[in-house]
Structure 1
Amino acid sequence: MFYWLLKRVLVGPLLWLFFRPEVEGLEHVPAEGAAILASNHLSFSDSFFLPLVVPRRTTFMAKAEYFDTPGLKGRLTAWFFRGVGATPVDRSGGRASEAALRTGLRVLEAGELFGIYPEGTRSPDGRLYRGRTGVARLALEARVPVIPVAMIDTEKVQPPGQVLPKPGRVGIRIGEPLDFSRYYGLESDRFVLRSVTDEIMYALMRLSDQEYVDIYASSVKGRAAAAAAAAQRAA
């Protein structure tokens, strides 16, 4: 109930009023049945705009920090994400990542839509980065189609570090579903997982018109943080 209350009464009308999302390809989202919505990730607000325009409920992964950050802002953020049915994902890898995938599988096995950002984190500079293979595992294990989604200009209305978005026009382009049935039963093959993931990222690149960078966004962010720390020590 809280999900639909936010979407239709509390938050949704304001988003439509101030950001006027331009949506293309909504017909590619099935009216029923499980599917993965795989999106590029430019802004914190991506998790608001995509569920806003998709008629069906969409469960998204959200980083665990959104659920356990202290302070008033942290409590409000956790309250919002729990209310919209987001599932926390621990990005430390290993068993934590496996648990997140299991959660995604449960959502898909229930016949629902599951949203994921294959890059694993927001783009640091507006370019599209290498995808993590978790999206491929989900698609092959659940045996569901992957629908590529391109968020357009969301980083302009809410750049990284900006608490509240500023009014502006955003776009959402939804591509045709990708069928990976030819790979069913091969979800343990890392070469297949990489091939499937790369095909998804290629579809996102074509939809979004972003420049593609064949390294992980988290690696770029890690190097930038290390460089900033080194510069601070030197100063």
Structure 2
Amino acid sequence: MFYWFLKWVALGPFLRVIFRPQVAGAENVPDEGPAILASNHLSYADWLFMPLTLPRRVTFVAKAEYFTTPGIKGWFQKQFFSGAGQVPIDRGGASAAEGALTAAKRILAEGGLFGIYPEGTRSHDGRLYRGKTGVARLALETGVPVIPVAVVGTDVVAPPGKTFGTFTRPVVRFGTPLDFSRYEGMSNDRYILRSVTDEIMYEIMRLSGQEYVDTYAAQAKKADAEAKKAERAEREQAGEQKKAS
């Protein structure tokens, strides 16, 4: 009940009036029954705008700290994330992936919509990165259709590393549901999992218009950070040599 209050009475109207998000292909999301919504991930604001365009609740997994922080602040934080369709998962543990999969299966078994970001983390440069195979495993083990989703413009509203950016109208595009029933019973085949994941990512790329990079986002972030660190070190060294001369 708190979710509907949050979405329609408190947060929803505010976001609609201010940002006027645009939606295309919402008819591809079933009115009832389970489905996996596999989306690109440009900003922390993605999980606000994508569910806002649908009449149904979309559930995501979120780090457990959002639900376990003590005190008044922790209580409000827990209510907010619970109401916004998030369920806790310990992402720091060795079984984080299994925990997320278990939570997703439960939500889908109850006939819900489960939202997932196959890239695993936000894109730091606006490009679309290689998907992790958890989304494929979930689809094959549950037999639930996967609906590719592209959220565009949220990285302008809330850029990586910033709380707020500049105004734009976010766009949410829902693609045609993907049926992977032909791979039933093959959820342990890593080649099949990779093939299914790549098919999903291709559809997301087609919807979003992003440049695709066949590298995991976390690896790309690390490489870019190391490159920037090396550049700073070179500039500092050059500055010191200039002073010495």
What is the TM-score of this pair, normalised by structure 2? 0.87
Q: What corresponds to 1:144 in structure 2?
A: 144
Mapping of residues 1-235 of structure 1, within 5 Å: 1-64=1-64, 66-67=66-67, 77-92=77-92, 94-164=94-164, 166-227=166-227
Match for 2:218: what amino acid? S
Q: For the structure 1 residues 55 and 144, does the alpha-carbon distance in structure 2 shift closer, same or farther, using more than 3 Å as the test?
A: same
- Residues 206-225 of structure 1 show CA distances to partners (whole Å, capped at 9, x for unaligned) of 00000000000000112233
Q: Which runs of 5+ in 1 are unaligned?
A: none
Match for 2:50: what amino acid? L
Q: 1:160 Cα deviation (Å)?
A: 1.3
Q: Is 2:37–2:146's contact at 8 Å kept on the other side of the alignment?
A: yes
Q: For the structure 1 residues 68 and 212, does the alpha-carbon distance in structure 2 shift closer, same or farther, using more than 3 Å as the test?
A: farther
Q: 1:116 Cα deviation (Å)?
A: 0.3
Q: 1:127 Cα deviation (Å)?
A: 0.3
- Residues 158-184 of structure 1 show CA distances to partners (whole Å, capped at 9, x for unaligned) of 101222464321100110000000011
Distance 1:149 1:179 in 2: 15
Q: Which runs of 5+ in 2 are unaligned?
A: 237-245
Deviates more, 1:72-81 or 1:217-226: 72-81
Match for 1:117: what amino acid? Y
Q: 1:94 Cα deviation (Å)?
A: 3.8
Percent sequence identity is 60
Deviates more, 1:169-178 or 1:64-73: 64-73
Q: Is 1:148–1:203's contact at 8 Å kept on the other side of the alignment?
A: yes
- Residues 48-82 of structure 1 show CA distances to partners (whole Å, capped at 9, x for unaligned) of 00111111111012244544679998775544212
Distance 2:81 2:49 in 1: 14
Q: Is 2:151–2:173's contact at 8 Å kept on the other side of the alignment?
A: yes
Match for 1:159: what amino acid? P
Q: Is 1:89–1:96's contact at 8 Å kept on the other side of the alignment?
A: yes
